[in-house]
Amino acid sequence: MGAVLNKKGVKKVKLGIAKAAVKAAARPPAVPASRGGYACRVSVSKQGRAGKTVTVVTGLEVLPDDEKKALLTRLKNAVAGGGSVSAGGGLEVQGEHADTVCKLLVAEGFTNSKVSGGIPKRKKR
């Protein structure tokens, strides 16, 4: 982790995640300081999804819908996957990306974010 200057002298933050996430982290958050109060929990789930693994973000239910959609778009770009806003107001990203999503949420200003519930074990073949 650290800061690096590019050719134009702009400060970039390296987080060890996808380039899109680094670009999103370099951007100032849309809602300053108020995002730190959200208790975001990131977990991985397979239940009720025909065996498909999904990363679920909860705790953002009170965030306005347009901000949720914008955040979801940045998360999907960072992990190069699909996703949706669930009926309960949480976010779902396809695949097992709990650590990457949590790092990106912290970079976006949701400082009270953490991975919860553990990651399910894969079956050995």
Over residues 1-11, the pLDDT tens digits come to 556 666 666 66
**Phi, psi dihedrals of residue 75, rounded to the nearest 5°:** -65, -45
Span 67-107, pLDDT tens digits: 999 999 999 999 999 999 988 888 999 999 999 999 999 88
Q: Specify the pTM.
A: 0.65
Encoded tokens for 76: 């999907």
Residue 47 DSSP SS3:
coil
Closest C-alpha to 101, from 46, 40, 31: 40
Closest C-alpha to 110, from 121, 99, 102, 118: 102
Distance CA(94)–CA(35), nearest Å, equals 24
List the domains of the chain with CATH numbers: 2-115 (3.30.780.10)
pLDDT of residue 74: 93
pLDDT, mean over the chain? 78
Closest C-alpha to 82, from 59, 53, 102: 53
